Each structure stands twice: as C-alpha cells, then as structure tokens.
Copies of this chain bind each other. A is one copy, B any other.
Amino acid sequence: MATTNPSFMNGVPELLVLRLLQGREMYGYEIVQAIREETGDVVSLGEGVVYPVLHTLERGGAISSERRAVGGRSRIYYALSPKGVSRLTELTELWSRITGAVQQVLVGGGHAGLV
C-alpha cells in the first residue's frame, strides 16, 4: 500500500471490475463489454485498461483466475476472493466519500456557513 501519492480520483476502473466480479465470474473480454453496456457507453474502458487491472488484481490476491474452454473458446474466468471483497468495500466507501465531498461543493452555493 502506501501508494505514494495517488490522485484522489483514481481507481475507478479497479472499482468497476471488482464490482462486476462480485455478481458472477467473468472473463476480460466480457467485462469490457459489460462496462460499456451497463453504463450506456458513458464509461468505456478499453482492453488496454481492463486486462492490466485484472493482472494487478490477481497479483494482489484480490481475484483468482481459471482458464476454461467454452464452446471451443479459451477464456480466463476471474472470481472475487475474500481479499477482493474487502478491497471492494474499501474502494466503494472511498468513492462514496469523494463524490459526497464534491457534491458538497457543487451544492454549497458559496454560503459555506452551515451548521
């Protein structure tokens, strides 16, 4: 950890991948399309983003992989580990705190003086 100085807004791809894997086991190519579809193309992470995230996550023990042949296709399915669950919780809370703080400023209207 002690990630040096991570920008306060980062780690969203990681968050999305972990969340999707919480629902079911998925493979990389599938995750790429799921993100596009579930966000209505608002967020579109390419394979160049998703695959490295998966590898980092696996290296850190947050997910595990298993190669399977499905209909002649070779896919690598990823599953969330307990470590991944707590990491997901962590990131979700962080995301919540940050968006809340930003919202605070957006709504605050310049009259900071609230109780």
Contacts and interface: CB of A to CB of B under 8 A. Distances in A.
Interface residues of A, number: 36
Contacts of A100: 42
Contact of A95 (B34, B35, B40, B102): B102
Nearest to A11: B9
Dominant secondary structure of chain A at its interface with chain B: helix
B101 A39 contact: yes
Interface in A2-57: 8-10, 12, 15-16, 19-20, 22-24, 34-35, 37-40, 42-44
A95 to B, nearest CB: 7
A14 B37 CA distance: 29
Interface of A: 8-10, 12, 15-16, 19-20, 22-24, 34-35, 37-40, 42-44, 92, 95, 97-102, 104-106, 108-112
9 nearest interchain CB pairs?
A: A23-B110, A39-B101, A42-B101, A43-B101, A9-B9, A38-B105, A42-B97, A16-B105, A99-B99
Given A23-B110, A42-B101, 4 more contacts: A23-B109, A39-B105, A42-B97, A95-B102
